[in-house]
Amino acid sequence: MKSNATHVHGEAASRRETVDISLRDVVGTYTTVRGTVNAVDGVSLDIAGGGIIGVAGESGCGKTTLLKLLYGNVEYPLSLTRGSIRFNLDGMPITHETIRRYWFRRIAYIPQSSMSSLNPVIRIRKQFLDRAGYSQDNVFQGARGRRQQRETLERVRQYLRELDLPVEVLDSFPHQLSGGMRQRVMVALATFFHPDIILADEPTTALDVVVQKGILLLLAEVQEALRNTILIVTHDMGVHYQLTHRMVIMYAAKIVEYGPTEEVFSRPLHPYTKMLIESLPKVGDDRVRQGAKGKPPSLYSELRGCRYAPRCPKAQAICRKQEPELAELSPGRRAACFFPEE
């Protein structure tokens, strides 16, 4: 973003004080033909707002479900069967029941697949106006409505210029843009109202590394200018290292670790986190890497004790019987393990 960004976002920046997210024993359940399955199973955590927070984990660990629950996008077959989710926006409490009133304007969402999220038969310009609340055609609006619409469009153009996007995209249909450009349009759409919280679900997974870098750094610039909270879900540990300030690691529907990203990478507490980091190959590193043994447990089965115990090299008898709490081991760092790494 260019220097005039601070001017545009000045009012928004001063508005922001505290955004806190508090999860209390959250259970998210999917109803399937094989029975019910808890994709998020008893998650409790207080996350202080501000900065970029990453949610890491492998497929099936519940990270996308957690994001859906946070966004309040809870529809069949997903349901919030237990627990509560609360946001605190400048002292204003928002629960999962009232959250829909704050969608777009204060809480935004960036999905993974921009192709299936943008309406394929209307131009990008109209998609911006629809979000701004101009759902009707010009004919029914009168002179005042048309003027407001023109002004909004001018603000959209200015905002696109701030984000270094070509203004011509407004006149395109989604299929005329490349994948990277569509995803940048999604970022622009999601951040146009300067939301307090942006939830991003694997925003760059389908893209090439060069494009990915551009979009992630764009998100970081938006966060710096707006001083808001971004929650980003991705399985790519490299992305977490580059972008996030704090991170949450999930395994088999549970949070196993939470802490500042730098410390999580330099001194992981949970053996699962350690394994995730060590299994990454690197350019210029000739060591032989071993993949993880075993696989995550099926969430359909009855699970006892620590869910990582069957694959854990440090597992003891207690790990198989009792479930470890997500305990604060040092200021700001939490891990659910009986024998955390030193």
| Rounded Cα–Cα distance for residues 324 and 337 (Å) | 5
**Counting contacts by CB under 8 A, is residue 214 touching another protein?**
yes
Question: For the purposes of burial, counting CB atoms within 10 Å of the CB of 239, is it exposed (0-12), middle (13-18) or buried (19 or more)?
Answer: buried
3 state SS of 283: coil
**Counting contacts by CB under 8 A, is residue 256 touching another protein?**
no
Q: Which is nearer to another protein, 48 or 211 (CB)?
A: 211
**Counting contacts by CB under 8 A, is residue 167 touching another protein?**
no
Distance in Å, CB of 146 to another protein, minimum? 31
Distance in Å, CB of 183 to another protein, minimum? 11
Question: For another protein, which stretch binds (CB under 8 A), given 25-33, 110-118, 126-134, 212-220?
Answer: 212-220
C-alpha pair distances (Å), 32 with each of 58, 93, 295: 21, 33, 22
Contact 49, 198 (CB under 8 A): no
Which of 19, 85, 218, 230 lies at the binding interface for another protein (CB under 8 A)? 218
| Rounded Cα–Cα distance for residues 336 and 327 (Å) | 6
Distance in Å, CB of 243 to another protein, minimum? 8
Question: For another protein, which stretch binds (CB under 8 A), given 71-79, 81-89, 143-151, 276-284?
Answer: 276-284
State the binding string over 232-251 for another protein (x if CB under 8 A, else -). Answer: ---xxxxx-xx---------
| Rounded Cα–Cα distance for residues 188 and 208 (Å) | 19
Q: Which is nearer to another protein, 26 or 181 (CB)?
A: 181
Q: Which of 244, 216, 223 is nearest to 56 (CA)?
A: 244
Which of 277, 303, 315, 329 lies at the binding interface for another protein (CB under 8 A)? 277
| Rounded Cα–Cα distance for residues 130 and 223 (Å) | 24
E strands along 127-237, which residues?
197-201, 229-233
Q: Which is nearer to another protein, 23 or 226 (CB)?
A: 226
Binders of another protein among 32-91, rule CB under 8 A? 58-59
Question: For another protein, which stretch binds (CB under 8 A), given 20-28, 85-93, 174-182, 323-331?
Answer: 174-182
Distance in Å, CB of 164 to another protein, minimum? 8
| Rounded Cα–Cα distance for residues 241 and 243 (Å) | 6
State the binding string over 279-318 for another protein (x if CB under 8 A, else -). Answer: xxxxxxxx-xxxxx--x-----------------------
Looking at residue 325, the DSSP 8-state letter turns out to be P
Query: How many distinct helices (H) and strands (E) make up the chain?
Result: 10, 12
Q: Which of 41, 2, 39, 4 is nearest to 23 (CA)?
A: 41
**Counting contacts by CB under 8 A, is residue 175 touching another protein?**
no
**Counting contacts by CB under 8 A, is residue 93 touching another protein?**
no
Token code pair at residue 233: 């879900």
Q: Which of 205, 214, 209 is nearest to 115 (CA)?
A: 205
Report the interface residues with another protein, using CB under 8 A: 58-59, 166, 178-181, 208-214, 216-218, 221, 235-239, 241-242, 265, 275-277, 279-286, 288-292, 295
